[in-house]
Structure 1
Amino acid sequence: MLERKIQYFIDVVQEGSFSSAAKKYLLSQSAISQQITQLENEIGVILFDRSGYKPKLTNQGKVFYEGCLKLQRETNELLETIQQEHIKIRIGLTQLEQNKHLIKIINQFKNHYKNVEFDLIEGTFEETKTNLLQGKTDLAFGLESDFKSDERIEYKPLFHYTMCLMCSLNNPLASKNEICVEDLKNQNYICLSKKMGRNFYKDFIQAFKLDGIKPKIIKEVDTFEQLTIDVSLDKGVALVSKEVINENIAKAIPIINTHHHNDYVIAYHKDYSEIEQRFIKEAIRYFETL
């Protein structure tokens, strides 16, 4: 369960050489050596003196080794504990497109923690934040704007959305590959209502102000589905992330130099549990690979 490079480091110390550790994993000696070098670069410490016949721990390497053994023991103890206890993690989520990755993250996590169960609770931006604050959920996935204003909540960014103007395929703007802020003026906008999220709505209007635009909002809707339908029927345009646009029925046009932005985050209480912390790290690692 330890990060692979750390496990390799422990094995090199215990096996006495890079080659012996490599045989354990059916890898080449150079592959193990490269992993240790990457680990040294990441932590900024030389772990082994390689000048002799066999690698020898430096003083800093000895300290790091003892810490890794402690971490290994604690990890094994945690696994033993949770394997004997049924644990449930309740996750709040909205209708965002990035939630499709959540199932993959959960399945990866359950490969290691087989008796951890998950309840997924869907709601609006506002409901997702409220459920987290009231303890109805343990973690939440959503937009940064939903959580950044409350000191009781911590969050980690996972994904940065590409902001676009969404218009119908028949809209004159649909021929453009990108647009600037000037193109956003004098448009009829359809947007998500305050019911979806007050902070989201506030940031949406503030971004227009920073762009020097007074938007003409002709309709507010309560769901992404209604937003997409109205835009595809050419009732107006919308500003949303590229990732949520169905380009079979609407055009996504990236916007240059706008203040409109959205970041997908995982949010949690400051007093999160050990198992929740591990799930948070798993989610972060997953999105780093995308």
Structure 2
Amino acid sequence: MEFKNLRAFLEVVRQGGFSQAAKKLYATQPTISKAVKQLEDEVGMVLLDRSGPKSRLTSAGEVVYQRALRMLAEREDLQAELDELRGLKRGSLQLGLPPIGSSTLYAPVFARYKKRYPGVDVRLVEQGSDRLQEMLQNGDIELGAILLPAPEPFETQMVCSEPLVAMLPVDHPRADQDSVSLDELKDTPFILFEASFSLNRILMSAARRRGFAPLVTARSSQIDFITELVAAGMGVSFLPRRMAEQRPHPRVARVLLDEPQTQWDMAMIWRRDAFLSPAARAWLAIVKEIHPLS
């Protein structure tokens, strides 16, 4: 059932005739007559009694008229809602961010996004990269921020690339160096993040390439707690340089990690076959504004 035929029918009823309806719709009278006839053929019943000076609704016409009013009103409401979504006056974004680095990298993005699109509801989850990939695959979130490399099914937009820094107790033998390799730290216990954090995988892979398996003395998802464990002399931990510089501690030395394939490469990712909503595309655009590396 075509909306243009319904609209022509409604206007004939409102205007009391075909010629008046044609003027209202800026169409010819034969065009309006054809549209109403097509509608009658489709429903298989006469909708207008054309015998008098004015067209009048038949019983079937009354039913179609009332339904058509609601259908066209619903269509207009639908169009209005879609226009609001396109204009980002409303909508929602399911977004996954990692606990590491979100305050530095994504808080400015979030603030600008909400200022520009206050009607969009951002539903945020915080998980490690591995869990965020699972949630993307399951359709639980639309965009996720993870450490590269990303698996094959995902598209990526680069956010930043940072070297890692070794966080050492100030009395550690390597604390005064400008840089340090993992080989020089193999006898120092490691303090790592929780198992779902991709940073662990980067470090453990690098250690295996060096031919050792580090002793892991503690795990946590809290950067400040890990920093305090380092300060207490429990071992070495690792952070992207930007995050490490934001957490100075009198009993913690920051030494650049000189180790191949341990760069902290952060990106926004999404499923390659997924439709990206206007809200998601707007988020990616603001990420690019704030982090031009992307």
Per the normalisation by structure 2, the TM-score is 0.61
Gaps of 5+ in 2: 1-81
DSSP 3-state at the match of 2:165 = strand
Q: 2:100 — aligned with what?
A: 96
Q: What secondary structure sits across from 1:207 in the alignment? A: helix
Amino acid at match of 2:221: T
SS in 1 for 2:215: strand
Going from structure 1 to structure 2, the CA distance change for 1:107 and 1:79 (only over 3 Å counts) comes to farther
1:72-83 paired onto structure 2 within 5 Å: 81-83=85-87
Please give the alpha-carbon distance, in whole angstroms, between the structure 2 residues aligned to 1:115 and 1:261.
37
Do the aligned partners of 2:182 and 2:207 also contact (CA within 8 Å) in 1? Answer: no
Counterpart of 1:233? 232
CA deviations on 1:134-159 (whole Å, 9 max, x unpaired) are 222221123225xx12x332222211
Paired residue for 2:248? 247
TM-score after normalising by structure 1: 0.62
- Change beyond 3 A, Cα 1:215–1:166: farther
Match of 1:262 in 2: 264
C-alpha displacement at 1:257, in angstroms?
4.3
Q: In 2, distance between residues paired with 1:133 and 1:281? A: 22
The match for 1:286 is 290
Q: Distance in 2 between matches of 1:220 and 1:154?
A: 34
Cα displacement string for residues 201-248 of structure 1 (whole angstroms, at most 9, x for unaligned residues): 4332222233x2413323241313443232221111123322333221
Q: Which amino acid aligns with 1:239?
A: F
1:84 and 1:163 map into 2 onto residues whose CA distance is 38
| Structure 2 CA distance for partners of 1:282 and 1:85, relative to 1, 3 Å | closer
1:135 matched to 2:139? The reply is yes
Distance 1:280 1:206, change over 3 A: same
**CA separation of 1:176 and 1:79: change in aligned 2, threshold 3 A:** farther
Q: Partner letter of residue 284 of structure 1?
A: K
Counterpart Cα distance in 1 of 2:267 and 2:88: 31
1:17 maps to none
- Structure 1 residues 120 and 152: alpha-carbon distance in aligned structure 2, compared to 1, 3 A threshold: same
2:219 matched residue in structure 1: 221
Instruction: Give the aligned residue type for 2:281.
Output: Q
Query: For the residues of structure 1 that align with 2:228 and 2:133, how far apart are their CA atoms?
Result: 27
Deviation track 1:22-47 (CA, whole Å, cap 9, x = no partner) reads xxxxxxxxxxxxxxxxxxxxxxxxxx
Please, which of 268, 274, 281 is the counterpart of residue 277 of structure 1? 281
Over aligned residues, Cα RMSD in angstroms? 2.8
Residue 161 (structure 1) aligns with:
162
Q: Which runs of 5+ in 1 are unaligned?
A: 1-77
Task: Find out whether 1:173 has 2:174 as its counterpart.
Answer: yes
Query: What amino acid sits opposite 1:105 in the alignment?
Result: V
TM-superposed deviation, 1:179: 2.3
Identity %: 14
What amino acid maps onto 1:178 in structure 2?
A: S
1:208 equivalenced with 2:207 (yes/no): yes
Deviation at 1:115, TM superposition (A): 2.1
SS in 1 for 2:106: helix
Whole-angstrom distance in 2 between the partners of 1:129 and 1:89: 16
Q: Which residue of the partner structure matches residue 188 of structure 1? A: 189
Shift of 1:91: 1.2
Instruction: Indicate how the Cα distance of structure 1 residues 101 and 206 shifts in structure 2: closer, same or farther if over 3 A, else same.
Output: closer
Instruction: Give the Å deviation of 1:260.
Output: 1.9
Give distance in 1, aligned partners of 2:85 and 2:267: 29
2:109 & 2:216 partners in 1: Cα distance? 39
